[in-house]
Amino acid sequence: MSRTIAYCRVSSRDQNPQLQLDALHTHGYDYLFAETESGKRGVTIKSLTENFDLDTKEGRFMFAVLAAAAEYELELRAERQAEGIAAARRRQAAGSMLPGKNTWAGPG
């Protein structure tokens, strides 16, 4: 027998979770967990593989650097994808799907 566990969260007490609760109620669930704050008190994060602890200023710094690097890489990937799509569209408009080819090289 499968169970549905619903999770509702808003990041501050000023926000209203009612839209989420209505959608969850419409969908149906067996259990509901709801939070009204951005973080749970008393929870600590320690990474064993990256060797940082968010309870320390060094750990928070390392986490911020890793998060910034991940965001940078994500944006670079999105730019490269957009450039690739634009290049493919230009080639298609010119009648060439592959660089250096005059016609589309479809399946053999």
What residue ranges do the domains of the chain occupy?
1-42, 44-99
Looking at per-residue confidence, does 44 or 80 come out higher? 80
Cα 35 versus chain centre, distance: 20
Rounded Cα gap, residues 108 and 106, in angstroms: 6
Dihedral pair phi/psi, residue 47, rounded to 5° = -95, 120
Higher pLDDT, 105 or 27: 27
pTM above 0.75, yes or no: no
Given pLDDT bands bounded at 50, 70 and 90, which one contains residue 100? low
Over the stretch 43-79, which tens digit does the pLDDT of each residue have? Answer: 567 776 677 788 889 888 988 998 999 999 999 999 9
Produce one character per residue of 43-77: b if its CB has 16 or more CB atoms within 10 Å, e if not. Answer: eeeeeeeeebeeeeeebeebbeeeeeeeeeeeeee
- pLDDT grade, residue 3 (50/70/90)? confident
DSSP string, 58-72: HHHHHHHHHHHHHHH
Q: Name the β-bridge partners of 7.
A: 33
